[in-house]
Amino acid sequence: MSLNRFVYYCAVIGGWAAFAAWITLETPIRRLSSLGETETAINLWSVITTTLTATVVGGAIGCGLGLVGGMDQRWMSRLQNGLSGLIGGAAGGFIGGLLGGCLHTYAGLPRALGWMTMGVAIGAAEGLHQNSFRRIRNGAVGGVLGGLVGGILFDVLARPGAEMASRAFAFVLLGVAIGALIGLTHLVLKRAWLTVLDGFRPGRQLILDQAVTVLGRGDHLRLPLLGPASRDLEAEHAKITRRADGAFVVEDRNTRLGTLLNGQRLLGPVVLTDGDLLRLGGNIVRFNDRGGRVAPAESGQVSPSPTSPAGPASAPPPIPPVPGTNGGGSPPGGALPGGAVAPRPVRPSQPGPSVRPPRGPGPKLPPPPPPPPPLR
């Protein structure tokens, strides 16, 4: 999906997940809150209910965001992402709920601190599953911001004695804030990404936040290229590697069809630059780099594609001299090897200076005949 839709779905799914958690918790939490007769017992049950609430809410939001992150993948990968989000969100919710409940009950601090801890765990869960430090970092930042904003709103709306509608709305706002800010942080802090321009489901985008990103028709990939446009592709057709210096290198995986970069076939690893176009079968994918890196001339190997222009036209080589010609340029009659006709020399449009004859006495002429006699 596109990155803008990713943010939208994170917000919507986060809100619905929190709402589902509220439906599950509303009745049990109200019953548990009524237990305890002494102040010590009341405080203890308050911490327990807060911890339970944060655990369920964190697991629900984490599971929903995990499913959103794997929306372009096969169902098995989606379920794995959802399960990792469920475990990470529940663990973070348990720790955050216990911390926030104790600080709020015994120290009078806002419970938003606990929601922030839960948000960090939710945001980092998908990055841990994909073994991506950048995704862990960006998700944790978004989780902190979402937990802070949503936690403040939650404490205002779901204060003790609040009506059921206010509590439901508070849960929804908490989920929307955490989901939207996690997705927005991924969008804002992205460094490089891919956009499908043509082929299977154009408009999809993928943030390059892993060390190696594989492209192909395998449905286990993060950006699978399926459909008729990809029938000749390999399951793992090409790969993009992020080097230690931050550059992204594309390389074909010795496929029969090959991979084209800006219309030229890859013969080896090539450093990608902002705006480069990759063609994999009938799919065209654009690479974008926010850093605007410029690749050195010796950074890769490409070959002109037989189905695409070979590149900028160069001046044709000079015609070799042909023996037996006037001036060594073209044979008599203006014919060249291969049947071509040599251009004729262009004569000047104005004649050159005229040549005057030499001065002096010319040849002697015979004397004129005598005049005829007069008539009588």
- For the segment 206-231, what is each residue's pLDDT rounded down to a tens digit? 999 889 999 999 888 888 998 888 88
Residue matched to tokens 């629900």: 60
3-state secondary structure of 178: helix
Rounded to whole angstroms, the Cα distance separating 266 from 250 reads 9
Rounded to whole angstroms, the Cα distance separating 333 from 375 reads 68
pLDDT (average), residues 27-36: 78
Name the pLDDT band for 197 (thresholds 50, 70, 90): very high
Q: Where are the alpha helices (DSSP H) in the chain?
A: 3-33, 39-69, 75-106, 112-130, 133-157, 164-188
Name the pLDDT band for 372 (thresholds 50, 70, 90): low
Instruction: State what percent of residues in the chain have pLDDT above 70.
Output: 77
CA 176, 181, 187: angle at the middle one, nearest 5?
130
Name the pLDDT band for 314 (thresholds 50, 70, 90): very low
pLDDT (average), residues 41-56: 89
Residue matched to tokens 């993009």: 240
- Which of 215, 198, 213 has the alpha carbon at shortest distance from 243? 213
Phi/psi for 284 (5° steps) reads: -115, 125
Rounded to whole angstroms, the Cα distance separating 119 from 18 reads 13
The model's pLDDT over 135-172, given as tens digits with 9 standing for 90+, comes to 899 999 999 999 999 989 988 888 777 788 888 999 99
Higher-pLDDT residue of 363 and 153 is: 153
Give the pLDDT of residue 214.
94
pLDDT (average), residues 294-307: 50
Give the pLDDT of residue 111.
82
pLDDT (average), residues 17-37: 84
Rounded to the nearest integer, the mean pLDDT of the chain is 80
Quick check: 312 pLDDT over 50? no
Higher-pLDDT residue of 297 and 201 is: 201
Give the pLDDT of residue 113.
86
Give the pLDDT of residue 375.
59
Quick check: 103 pLDDT over 70? yes
Give the pLDDT of residue 361.
53
Higher-pLDDT residue of 328 and 221 is: 221
Rounded to whole angstroms, the Cα distance separating 192 from 185 reads 14
Per-domain boundaries in the chain? 3-188, 192-304
Quick check: 299 pLDDT over 80? no
Residue matched to tokens 């931050």: 246
Rounded to whole angstroms, the Cα distance separating 93 from 178 reads 13
Give the pLDDT of residue 308.
41
Provide CATH code, domain 192-304. Answer: 2.60.200.20
Helix axis angle, 164-188 relative to 3-33, nearest 10°?
150
Give the pLDDT of residue 301.
60
Name the pLDDT band for 178 (thresholds 50, 70, 90): very high
Which amino acid is present at 8? Answer: Y
Predicted TM-score (pTM) of the model is: 0.72
pLDDT (average), residues 172-189: 93
The model's pLDDT over 247-268, given as tens digits with 9 standing for 90+, comes to 999 999 999 999 999 999 999 9
